[in-house]
Chains A and B, each alone.
Chain A
Amino acid sequence: MSLIMIIYLIISAYISAMLIWNFLREKESVDRMILYLLVLIPLLLRILKIK
């Protein structure tokens, strides 16, 4: 795996963790909850390497 892919995966994992953390902390806005999960989808696909 190339260095750029390793950096890419680390960044993806970091943003994913932030999105999950925000989803869990969100208490009022359902719109935001949905938004966090939708943004999470492509990042998870990349991290888990699902084709």
Chain B
Amino acid sequence: MSYLWKIKLAIVSGIILLMAISSYQLYRHRHFKLAIVAGPGVTRVTMLSAFSPQLKGTSADTYVFFLEGKEKGGKALLISNTHANEPAGLLSSLIFLENAILEKGTLIIIPQFNYSASRTTRPGDGYPLYFEIKTDWGKKKFRMGNREASPLDQWPDPDVYIHYPERQLLSFIDIRNTNRTWPGRDKGPLMERVTFGAMEIMRKEEVDIALDLHGAETMFPVTNCIVAPEKSMRIATMASLTVKAREGFENHVEPSPSGFRGLSHREIGDYSNTLPFLLEAPIPFLDQPTGAKTESLLLEGKDPFLLSLARKGKLFVPYDENGWPMEKRVGQHCSVILEIVEQYSMKYPERGIKIKNVPRYAEILRNGIGHYYKNPYNVDRKNIFYN
């Protein structure tokens, strides 16, 4: 064999080896199952395909948990992992799922709304595949996902995504983004079937309020806020003012733009009787001018480049050497959710919802997030749902 062919054989072997190692890592990530513990408040568990039958058997079908109180009242829907690379929402909804007790009304939780997106990663950005949260019994491991669903599950993308039913032209990639495919349709692309399932829950269960949990860059103006359309504005404003006065953190209100289609805070309000709220917590990990996208940046939110930009007044949130830790983001989410539910219950007492046993901002900062997660090994197996 000539020297040239030896070089070519070495290059081919090297590339096959690299592909094998990376494929194995991605395969394990895609098939890693998160142990979701259903707490004492969970009364019923179903799949999203029960409301959107075209999801059955697909890799976008996901668990829906019902927490029903003894006393009848209103209903709230809590959605997280709409974008699976904004994990504060998932961590918050799991706190509700494992701890909340409903005294009145119903809370419906879809913890991994874009399940497909939670099983992929962002090509080219060097995301960590997993992250771990410290608990009282060890560490709980989570998959780190992506903003859009996996192209393995929904393909091909169009050149331009034509939103249904408004026909607005959106970026091609948004056809896999479950915060652009609302209100969805039963036989549309896979992600439209996901949002259609949630719309069906809201219509059939007569849900009063829907809360969609997100994270946004510190350099993006719509961050650290509640996004609400006209019909939800009063309650959002009262919740924002109350958490500032009582709990001491900022969470301003942003109006939902009526000309930008496909977003939960716009379409849920326009296509159902439900009042939508989208909660944004700052996530420095998603900002572009940061250092390496590490697990530590994701959890602590500390970055020297962002700190430098903060000193120049380029960020939309207060930022110092302490970064923006996950506890703060999850604490804000939990407090704002509870406050929106309380404000709604005060305005419509006959459709009130009473949630007990969920920590607020200060408690989560004091005790950590993991303190509120149960050890799956010490829980009755029928209460564990691997997703």
Contact = CB atoms under 8 A, between A and B. Distances in A.
Contact of A33 (B8, B19, B152, B156): B8
A36 B89 CA distance: 42
A4 B157 CA distance: 11
B12 interface: yes
Nearest to A27: B4
A27 B7 CA distance: 10
Interface string B1-26: 00010011001100100010000000
Contact of B15 (A8, A27, A41): A41
A38 B152 contact: no
Does more than half of chain B's interface fall in helix, strand or loop, or is it mixed?
A: helix
Contacts, number: 20
B11 A37 contact: yes
A20 to B, nearest CB: 11
A33 B156 CA distance: 29
Interface in B17-76: 19
Interface residues of A, number: 13
Interface in A12-29: 23-24, 27
Contacts of A51: 152
User: Which of A4, A8, A30 has most chain B Cβ within 10 Å?
Assistant: A30
Interface of B: 4, 7-8, 11-12, 15, 19, 152, 156
9 tightest A-B CB contacts, nearest first: A51-B152, A37-B15, A33-B11, A34-B11, A27-B4, A33-B8, A30-B7, A37-B11, A41-B19
